[in-house]
Structure 1
């Protein structure tokens, strides 16, 4: 692997939020989901039966217990809220907890429905870069997968989340990162060409492949997959600009920089910078501002707005 490719791979790894210890999380201002607060303490214990877990969940969550509808009707409502992109992250966690309790009540353990729920919970944690929690639920899903037959699409979703967790796991050095890249590539090797109607997983697969290609120093292939990931993400979000949008453009710019295409690097860095600035993600905006100061004559240094003091 060339020196430029190695620098790019590590730059992209640094662009991912680090998995923090609890002490670091309390003092860090750079965590991806800065406002998320997960109030529920409900956890599935292996010693509990499905019935015991469901009873405990509803005894600890009185609002859910007051809903006297049929469990299947409740589950339909919960799924609708989880499928709604406008559902807030705190509410999403609550709905996932409700879904797990309802699925255990209706379908029981070692079922396809519970497998799908664990993968869905893992995806939630992956998206928040809470990798140990994602891994914990993926292992539960894997245990079920060893007991039952699952569809190719369910296997694809599991593999993408598993590879996603591996490549985003915290590392001590570059060599460990490259091992994670190789492991992620192996995990999804059989699922790169499977047709999937789920927009989220088409996007995640393209982004994951872009990260893998970058880790392997295959920058041209990475550029292609970043283009696919951006198009799929913008279609999925109806062109809503988010921190994920900025991250995609940031990493694509870094990839162009690695192959010496400064013109395209400048264009994508500028787009990422504009999004970071509009979202007031100051550390990333300032990071790109320094690069643009050197490479873009039209760029003006980023100065974050000062908050007004209350008198």
Structure 2
């Protein structure tokens, strides 16, 4: 990680070193003026130390792994814990973290009052106590669905014991869950979406209601990448991520339902919107409403249709090559060259 931009980001992250460690190294814990964990990939252990405060030995955010001799800064931690490759993805994730208002630290002698159930504040707290998905059963769950390229998935998290209550008369249970942060156009978390999973990540949990959302969802979405002039928007997280396997550099958003897809807000720079359609009546209604809204503000709207029920079914049943060929035939030619060059 070299260059002025990297140095500036590392310095800004260093001012929130403990918050960075709590988010990306949740398997560790604070030990004096250091954060102690197994390694930069968030493995449980005690061999790696992250400096939390500036000292004569170096600035906050610098770390050393006593077992391997490796060392680095907080950008390296974000890269390794999230499984990112290019500097752009690491920088985007760092800026996403820095743009999120920090959770206030509760005083030792008092607890924060409970957030109203289902509120945006409850959603923000849930996201804050969750961890990155690399190496967790969320990664297993997505891999079982053919989703292996996880670039730009910084809004997805893992919670090992997420509360689930079938109804008001039933006892509360806990299940592992994929937690998706819902954000507005400014990047502020307004809600969260929970997908409860089987303990081994092979499928969703064997419960009556496997998905639930909370917070303010209307107009907002789970976002993958930073939208510019071109983006894609669909309903489900798995559907959108399946399309992203063919178009890894295109910004995308999952609105979580057909009704919310029809109402999704448009980024100011957007000029072309790809509507990721599910092959059902609700998907058709969302498509028509969204096309009308987009055209009214001068945005070119193009529908991307799956071969089967949705793009995840395409990916799992037909494979990535067939999905890519189908999508290529529906993209604007300039977007094939821009977004599909590495996935063709």
Q: Which has the higher contact order (CA 8 A, sep 6+)?
A: 1
- Larger strand proportion, structure 1 or 2? 2
Interval of TM-score (by shorter of Structure 1 and Structure 2): 0.3 to 0.5
Q: TM-score, normalised by structure 2?
A: 0.31
